[in-house]
Structures are given as structure tokens and as C-alpha cells.
Amino acid sequence: MRNDIADLNHLLRLLAGRLPDGQLDHRRHDLAATELWELEINLLGYCAAHAIPLREEEIALLPEARACPGGSRIRKLTRWRETDRMPEYRFEPLDAEDSMAERLLLDMVRRDHLAVIRLRKAWRTPANAAAKNPPTVVYIAECAPGSDVSRRYGAFDVGSHGDQIEVVAEGEDLPPYQAGALAAGQLIWTSPTVITHPDSTAAATPESPDDHRHRTGGGATQLALDDLWDSRQQIESE
């Protein structure tokens, strides 16, 4: 099952920006819940019904294609042609804000701070005619190397607020969509368990709360978010 989860996670990354955002959200929630059969059946049905073109190497990531390569569900899929255009998107850094979606997401990543080490935020816009998804906020949750990123889509739910999230592990090879979002995203939160060095690599070195709050790289945005968090925690404890 673990190989199937990794393959389906990679396939959904490749389909980001090609599937409608809502459809991608639903399938990632299936993945987080390890409802792999439901994920695959719904994904196969949607791609066939809407003629989403898939490359052969993408089809090979489907457990169904390995188990029954000549089956009807696989035959119904539209194959990628040389004339097909890949959707492209532009990502730009976006500052933190006090929105409901962002407050809830920050709550979640703070509780998961041993795995999630950074949270970035970008604004996505279509960059060519093949890109059909509308402009939206994309958060990028960067996890420690080796983290199980697939199950975190269930907890980090921003789709109900119209936003999107990509969950990645530090240092892993990423498809162009996720790599572009990660590279452009504005850093809005960093885990207190790591120190970001000038060479942009992270070391799992504990630091004091004061060091964390005033560390270069979080900047004023990080400080404001931490102050907001502290005030909320104080209110809840009274």
C-alpha cells in the first residue's frame, strides 16, 4: 500500500493545475484517509469523462493500470498527444493576512510543528491559455525530510475557503507546479524547532522562543503572527 500511496501522491502533484482545484482537493482528502480505491475510481472516472490527457508514465502510476492494464477503465482514458499544451501558472509571493483560512491553517501547522518546518504563501495566476483554474492563494507546507506528506492534506484543509495547499518535504524533487510555488512563496511561518541559516538550509537545532521570534527570515510578518498567536492563547487560558 505504501508504494500505491507514494505513486498516487506523485500523480496528484502532476495533475495540479490540470484538474479543477475542487476535484484535486477531494482526491487528496481520499489520499489522506488512505481511501485509495475511492480515490482511484473517482479519478479514473473524472479523467475519462472530461478527457483529461494523461501521459503513459502518469497512467503507470495508477494501481489499476498495474493490476489490469487492459481493463475498461484504463482504456477509456485519454492519452497525451504531442499537440496537447501543458497548463502553466505564475506564482508570486503573498504576505500573511488575518483571514479565517489562514488562522485555521496556522493552528494546524503549529500543532504539527515537529513535522512542518515552514509555511509559505503565494498568489497563483494562469500563465497560458491551457491553464483553466482561476487565480487563487496557494499555501506551501514544507515538512521535514522523510515526513509522510500525503496524510497531512486531511488536516490542512483550506479548500473550503477557496484556497489551495501543497504539502512537500524539504529537499525532495518536485514537479514544476510545486517547485514554482515553493520557490515563489513568501515565508509566513517557521517552526521553533529549526534554525534557518543564511545558506537557506535548515538544521534541526532547538532555539529559544526569543530567538525564534526575532530570527532573520521570519521578519515582521513572523513577529506579527506570533504576537497574534500569543494573544489568542492568553485569551483562551483566562
User: How confident is the model over 154-210, as pLDDT tens digits?
Assistant: 888 888 888 999 999 999 999 999 999 999 999 999 998 875 544 444 444 334 334
Q: Provide mean pLDDT across the span 135-144.
A: 96
Mark which of 25, 53, 75 sits at the end of a domain. 75
Residues 69 and 94 in one domain: no
Q: What is the pTM of this model?
A: 0.81
Residues 48 and 121 in one domain: no
Whether 96 is in a domain gets the answer yes
Spatial neighbors of 207 by CB under 8 A, at least 6 apart, are 192, 193, 194, 195, 215
Q: Provide mean pLDDT across the span 9-33.
A: 97
Q: What is the pLDDT of residue 236?
A: 47
- Position with higher pLDDT, 209 vs 83: 83
Whether 80 is in a domain gets the answer no
- Total domains present in the chain: 2
**Exposed / middle / buried, residue 229 (Cβ in 10 Å: 0-12, 13-18, 19+):** middle
Whether 40 is in a domain gets the answer yes
Residues 219 and 102 in one domain: yes
Q: How confident is the model at residue 114 (pLDDT cuts 50, 70, 90)?
A: confident
Residues 119 and 182 in one domain: yes
Q: Which residue range(s) make up the domain with 145?
A: 89-237
Residues 207 and 100 in one domain: yes
Mark which of 16, 47, 75 sits at the end of a domain. 75
Whether 81 is in a domain gets the answer no
Whether 82 is in a domain gets the answer no
Grid cell 485519454 is found at 78
